[in-house]
């Protein structure tokens, strides 16, 4: 907690928020020492963004505006996207989160795009691509008289490049890959992530056309087109292709779908180009070489005495639009083409977070018609006020350069400063900083259990629910644990019915309500709405198909779904499985350590880590696994000593009767700053290497590990082992701020 001397504003941060800020946002020296407090970061950002005013008015009151920017940030009424918080006022100066790059149908074009991707990821941005221009696999390559390897093979090149670039140590690379549904390789694209072992730095979506969707409804054939020459390349049954998309999404959440014709229907500058792709989470359609900077208003702060404070909301919208337009001016773009295109269209994306919090403050259940209606009303207000603020800026500063010929260029219409104003983006890490619910998502859980590395089970409780529970005198730690075990507060009679109605969670809500809420916000959003439609594990393929069709009929621009448990292990537990997994640890029996015989049989495994090769020897006696030794390829040093310590502790555990799968469970997924390898061979740390070697040994010897191989990019957070929630089209850890979508 801190206080601004000039405004008297108190900055209150949750423990998780402080952890995220210290780990990812605050300035550090070369030794990694944190150099600024959270208040300093907000002051740095406010000053840097306000400095743009002097480009339009030499007499601008920069200090006064910086104070206003600072105030709305430390009150968590508004926060910009993460690159702005990280980089504003610093040497890097790259402030945008979203980029789209073109991928042309030549080796030069493809590898130019790979190079540009690396530069963007290094600067802290995420990238979207359409691979629809690439000729299909096995097609002719005239320059070499050879055959094409197709778009999916080149996607792997982008994926490996992304894995290699670590975005300055603060943000992971993330990509969106889109292929048109009429591309000849579409069936291979739909299945390209079916094994969850490749393209893990990509979200993928199929670009659907209106013609295709009409063919789906009529169960008709549709035409494939070879992008090399625009000639027909066969036909497929639309309904069967759609069903394959649905079934694969049901299986593991990908691919998503985007409605390309709708993106271009609302393309503000059609004369400049066609929209082919979006940013990694799908909410920001962009032209090639375009970028967009985003920011979100915290709706939970806009309720006073049980009523929405519309006037304060208007004031924050006006400040936020000015803030985001200023970002365009002071931004240091990673490529000159991006600089030119971004300044020509000046797209900004003002969205919201804390929607579920606002509803709770108002006593309105998320899954009620009243909530749907209010969502549309709130977003209409933000969109209209945002456009009014953009028109005022156009009077003051001039319209965006490509205004002539845009969809706004009509007789008598007032010009806008920005080609787009509103976007509903996921707010994974900034909502942690603000201690707010994410985007327009419902609460993920009221209370949940989390197992940490020492096998302790912690119970996390939603702060608003805890406050209500204490006010209404039904709070107890036992009840909070029961809620976590139960997975919902519904059916727990000691909780008042009125409270149960308001505190609904993602899995208390039908998929249809998710879509209705998305559609309500989409009707008054320039760009698109990033939202995850959550399904229970028991949902059928037909349930998913129904929602995809509903999204199409409700005029959404895209859909991302997630069926609970359809990807690898989840640490978030809303039932008793976690207890069952650790219950036997508490057995009270005398442990007798096995004595070491003079000779043992052993097997040695080489694993590549970021610190170099490590050699892991597993020895067995007649009773089974007995001891483990490690040798680092680089002698001495901290890594070697830590690995020796791990070996000694594993050996002691085995000789004392601890099962091998418990050792694997504790070590698997621990991450350090130097991971190594890709896909199945990815090793996150020396501890992770030990776990993987033990697992490989047990598999080779025919032991039952009681667990399947786990991909740390899914489920448990690979950085802290914390909670990973699927929301806003992404997976986000609410403990350390890790996001698989940057």
Active-site residue numbers?
Answer: 279, 281, 283
Phi and psi (nearest 5°) for 66? -60, -35
Residues with Cβ within 8 Å of residue 143, at least 6 apart in sequence: none
Q: Whose structure tokens read 């986000």?
A: 732
Give the 3-state secondary structure of residue 205.
strand
Phi and psi (nearest 5°) for 34? -70, 130
Of 387, 411, 391, 407, nearest to 399 by C-alpha is: 391
Joined tokens for residue 400:
């965006």
In angstroms, the CA 150 to CA 195 distance is: 19
Concatenate the DSSP letters of all residues of 469-529 into one string: HHHTT---HHHHHHHHHHSSSTT-TTS-HHHHHHS-BGGGS-HHHHHHHHHHHHTT-SS-B
Q: Bridge-partner residues for 731, per DSSP?
A: 726
Give alpha helix (H) positions in 656-681.
Answer: 660-667
In angstroms, the CA 292 to CA 135 distance is: 29
Q: Whose structure tokens read 């008042």?
A: 496
Of 86, 111, 105, 89, nearest to 97 by C-alpha is: 86
Residues with Cβ within 8 Å of residue 246, at least 6 apart in sequence: 541, 544, 545, 548
Joined tokens for residue 151:
């778009």
Of 355, 550, 363, nearest to 439 by C-alpha is: 355
Neighbours of 368 (CB within 10 A): 15
In angstroms, the CA 481 to CA 556 distance is: 38
In angstroms, the CA 704 to CA 585 distance is: 18
In the chain the first and final C-alpha atoms are separated, in Å, by: 27
In angstroms, the CA 256 to CA 729 distance is: 9
Of 599, 562, 603, nearest to 281 by C-alpha is: 562
Q: Bridge-partner residues for 724, per DSSP?
A: 733
In angstroms, the CA 45 to CA 360 distance is: 31
C-alpha pair distances (Å), 256 with each of 149, 260, 283: 24, 13, 12
Please answer whether residues 460 and 482 qualify as being in contact, where contact means their C-beta atoms are separated by less than 8 angstroms.
Answer: no
CB-side neighbour CA atoms (13 Å) of 413: 14
Residues with Cβ within 8 Å of residue 554, at least 6 apart in sequence: 515, 516, 518, 519, 522
SS (H, E, C) 222-269: EEEEECCCCEEEEEEEHHHHHHHHHHHHHHHCCCEEEEHHHHHHCCCC
Residues with Cβ within 8 Å of residue 549, at least 6 apart in sequence: none
Phi and psi (nearest 5°) for 275? -80, 125
In angstroms, the CA 134 to CA 435 distance is: 44
C-alpha pair distances (Å), 148 with each of 103, 224, 657: 15, 17, 56
């Amino acid at each position: 907690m801190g206080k601004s001397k000039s405004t008297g504003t108190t900055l209150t941060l949750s423990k998780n928020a402080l952890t995220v800020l210290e780990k990812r946002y605050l300035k550090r020296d070369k030794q990694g020492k944190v150099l600024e407090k959270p208040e300093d970061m907000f002051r740095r950002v406010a000053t840097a963004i306000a400095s743009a005013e002097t480009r339009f008015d030499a007499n601008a009151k920069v200090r006064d505006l910086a104070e206003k920017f600072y105030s709305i940030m430390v009150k968590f009424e508004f926060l910009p996207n993460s690159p702005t918080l990280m980089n504003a006022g610093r040497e890097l100066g790259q402030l945008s989160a979203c980029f789209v790059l073109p991928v042309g149908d030549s080796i030069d074009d493809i590898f130019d795009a790979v190079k540009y991707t690396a530069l963007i990821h290094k600067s802290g941005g995420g990238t979207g691509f359409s691979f629809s221009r690439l000729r299909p696999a096995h097609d002719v390559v005239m320059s070499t008289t050879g055959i094409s390897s197709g778009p999916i093979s080149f996607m792997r090149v982008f994926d490996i490049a992304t894995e290699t670039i670590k975005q300055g140590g603060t943000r992971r690379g993330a990509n969106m890959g889109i292929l048109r549904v009429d591309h000849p390789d579409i069936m291979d694209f739909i299945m390209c992530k079916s094994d969850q072992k490749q393209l893990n730095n990509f979200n993928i979506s199929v670009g659907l056309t209106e013609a295709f969707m009409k063919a789906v409804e009529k169960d008709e054939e549709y035409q494939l087109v070879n992008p090399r020459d625009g000639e027909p390349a066969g036909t497929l049954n639309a309904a069967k292709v759609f069903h394959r998309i649905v079934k694969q999404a049901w299986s593991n959440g990908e691919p998503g779908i985007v409605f390309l014709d709708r993106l271009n229907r609302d393309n503000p500058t059609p004369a400049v180009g066609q929209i082919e792709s979006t940013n990694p989470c799908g909410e920001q359609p962009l032209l090639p070489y375009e970028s967009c900077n985003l920011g979100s208003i915290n709706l939970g702060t806009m309720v006073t005495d049980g009523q929405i404070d519309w006037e304060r909301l208007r004031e924050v919208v006006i400040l936020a639009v000015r803030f985001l337009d200023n970002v365009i001016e002071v931004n240091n773009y990673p490529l000159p083409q991006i600089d030119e295109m971004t300044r020509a269209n000046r797209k900004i994306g003002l969205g919201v977070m804390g929607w579920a919090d606002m509803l709770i403050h108002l006593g309105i259940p998320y899954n009620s018609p009243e909530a749907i209606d209010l969502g549309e009303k709130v977003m209409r207000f933000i969109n209209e006020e945002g456009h009014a603020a953009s028109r005022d800026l156009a009077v003051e500063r001039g319209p965006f350069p490509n205004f002539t010929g845009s969809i706004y260029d009509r007789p008598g219409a007032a010009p806008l400063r920005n080609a787009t104003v509103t976007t509903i983006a996921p707010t994974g890490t900034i909502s942690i900083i603000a201690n707010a619910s994410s985007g327009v998502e419902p609460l993920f859980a009221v209370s949940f259990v989390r197992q940490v590395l020492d096998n302790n089970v912690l119970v996390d409780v939603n702060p608003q629910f805890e406050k209500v529970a204490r006010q209404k005198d039904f709070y107890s730690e036992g009840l909070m644990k029961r809620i976590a075990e139960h997975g919902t507060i519904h059916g727990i009679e000691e909780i008042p019915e009125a409270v149960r109605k308001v505190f609904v969670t993602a899995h208390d809500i039908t998929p249809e309500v998710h879509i209705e809420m998305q559609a309500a916000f989409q009707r008054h959003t320039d760009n698109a709405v990033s939202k995850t439609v959550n399904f229970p594990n028991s949902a059928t393929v037909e349930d998913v198909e129904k929602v995809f069709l509903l999204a199409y009929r409700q005029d959404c621009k895209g859909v991302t779904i997630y069926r609970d448990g359809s990807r690898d292990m989840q640490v978030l537990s809303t039932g008793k499985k976690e207890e069952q997994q650790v219950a036997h640890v508490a057995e009270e029996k005398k442990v007798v350590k096995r004595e070491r015989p003079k000779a043992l049989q052993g097997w040695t495994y080489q694993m590549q880590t970021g610190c170099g090769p490590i050699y892991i020897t597993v020895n067995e006696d007649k009773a089974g696994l007995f001891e483990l030794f490690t040798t680092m390829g680089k002698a001495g040093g901290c890594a070697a000593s830590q690995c020796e310590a791990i070996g000694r502790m594993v050996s002691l555990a085995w000789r004392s009767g601890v099962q091998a799968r418990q050792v694997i469970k504790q070590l698997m997924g621990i991450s350090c700053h130097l991971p190594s390898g890709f896909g199945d061979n990815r090793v996150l740390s020396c501890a992770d290497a030990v776990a993987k070697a033990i697992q490989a040994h047990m598999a080779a010897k025919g032991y039952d590990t009681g667990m399947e191989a786990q991909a740390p990019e899914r489920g448990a957070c690979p950085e802290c082992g914390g909670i990973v929630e699927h929301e806003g089209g992404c997976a986000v850890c609410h403990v350390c701020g890790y996001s698989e979508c940057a």
